[in-house]
Structure 1
Amino acid sequence: MFIVRDGEVLLIEKLTGIGQGKVNGPGGKIDPGETASQAIVRECQEELHITPLNPVKVGELHFAMSDIPDIHCHVFIASEFEGEPTPTREANPMWTPIDEVPYEKMWEDDRHWLPQVLNGDIFNGRFQFEKEEILWQDVVFGETARDLWSGDRVC
C-alpha cells in the first residue's frame, strides 16, 4: 500500500520478517477468506494503526526468489486514510517527498515500477532474484498490464 497526499508518500522502515531493515510500503500475506483489498486494510491497521480509505489496485508483482518461496503481490494506492501513522513492532512510518523516495534503501525492483505508480500508472511486474539482486525482469505498464493480473500478498 502506498498512501499519497500533498506530494508525499507514506513509507515504512520494515522491522520484522522478509525485507527487515528495508524501506517499503506496508503489506503482508492475504489471510484465508480475505480479498486483497481487505488484506491491505488489515495490514495497514496492524503495521501503522491507520485505515486506508478506498484503496485502488494499481499493479501486481511476481517474484521468483532464490532463498525464499516465490511471492505474488497486489499493489494498492490510496490518497485518504483514518488514524495517525504510528510506529509498531513491525514498522516505523515515514512521510517522504515523492521526489526523494529512498530507492537505495528499498528492494531493487521498486525503482523499476514505483516511480510510474506514483505518477498514476498501473503495471504488472515479474522479477527473478538471486538473494537481493535482480537476475531477470519484465514490467508492463498501462491497460495491457491489467490483463496479466491474477493473488496471495498485498503491498
Structure 2
Amino acid sequence: MKQTITNCAHISWETYPFVDEAVLVFMQRSGGDLLLIEKKRGLGAGKYNAPGGRIEAGESPEEAAVRECQEEVFLTPTHLRYVASLQFIFQDGYSIKAFVYFTNTFSGSPQESDEATPFWCPLKKIPYENMWEDDKYWLPLMLEGRFVEGKFIFSDDTMVSLSITASPDFPPTAPQ
C-alpha cells in the first residue's frame, strides 16, 4: 500500500532512501541576468528551471553539474559554488536529492538542445509562476548569498509541505 506523506516533520530526511540524486546549476552573467531553461522533457517538462539533471554512477555532483550544462545548454561552468541542498519526495513514490550550484564564470554561448531552451532572465523578473512551486521560497534566499537547505513534499505538481533553513555561511566544499 502506498503511503501518503503530507508533512516534512515526520520524515527522517537524513536516512531517507532517495531514488535519484541530481544537480542544478544557476549561472549569472555580467549585468546580473540569470540563465534559466524551459525544460522540454522528463520531470518538470514545460517548467522553467536551471540547467541540471541526474548524477550518473561514478560522478561527483560537481562533475555532473559541468556535464549537464554542457549537454543541456552547451556551456561549461567553472568555479562552481555549492549553494543549496534540496530534497524532494513525491507522493507517487519518486524522490530526489539535489545539489545546487552557482557560478558567474563559464565558457560558451547558451544554445537550445533537445532537452532545454535556455534564456537569460533579469533577477527582478524571475518567472516563479512558470517554475516549480518551491522555487519562490528558496531561490531568493540563495540569490541573497545564503546557503539553503530545503525539504519538500509534492503531490504531482502541487507542493503540500516545505521546510527551509538558510544560513549566511556556505559550506567549504560540496559533498563528493
Q: State whether TM-score is above 0.5.
A: yes
Amino acid aligned to 2:131: M
Tell me the distance in 2 between the aligned counterparts of 1:124 and 1:19. 20
How far residue 67 of structure 1 moved from its aligned partner, in angstroms, is 2.7
Q: Which residue of 1 aligns with 2:45?
A: 20
Instruction: Verify the 8 A CA contact 1:124 1:145 in the aligned structure 2.
Output: no
Task: Say what the alpha-carbon RMSD is for the aligned residues.
Answer: 1.7
- Farther-moved stretch of structure 1 (59-68 vs 15-24): 59-68
Amino acid aligned to 1:121: R
The answer for unaligned runs of 5 or more in structure 1 is none
The answer for unaligned runs of 5 or more in structure 2 is 1-24
Structure (1 or 2) with the larger CA radius of gyration = 2
Of the two structures, which has the highest relative contact order with CA contacts closer than 8 Å and spacing of 6 or more? 1
Q: Which residue of 2 aligns with 1:2?
A: 26
Q: Which residue of 1 aligns with 2:149?
A: 124
Q: Which residue of 2 aligns with 1:80?
A: 105
Q: Which residue of 2 aligns with 1:91?
A: 116
Equivalent residue in structure 2 for 1:65, among 72, 90, 115: 90
How far residue 135 of structure 1 moved from its aligned partner, in angstroms, is 1.1
Instruction: Verify the 8 A CA contact 2:83 2:170 in the aligned structure 1.
Output: no
Give the alignment's TM-score, normalised by structure 2.
0.80
Percent pairwise identity: 40
Equivalent residue in structure 1 for 2:138, among 110, 113, 119: 113
Instruction: Verify the 8 A CA contact 2:82 2:170 in the aligned structure 1.
Output: no
Q: Secondary structure at the match of 1:108?
A: coil
Equivalent residue in structure 1 for 2:165, among 140, 143, 153: 140
How far residue 117 of structure 1 moved from its aligned partner, in angstroms, is 1.0
Equivalent residue in structure 2 for 1:102, among 109, 127, 144: 127
Q: Secondary structure at the match of 1:113?
A: helix
Tell me the distance in 1 between the aligned counterparts of 2:32 and 2:70. 23
Tell me which stretches of 4 or more aligned residues in structure 1 moved more than 4 Å.
143-146
- CA distance 1:38–1:104, change in 2 (3 Å): same
How far residue 71 of structure 1 moved from its aligned partner, in angstroms, is 0.7
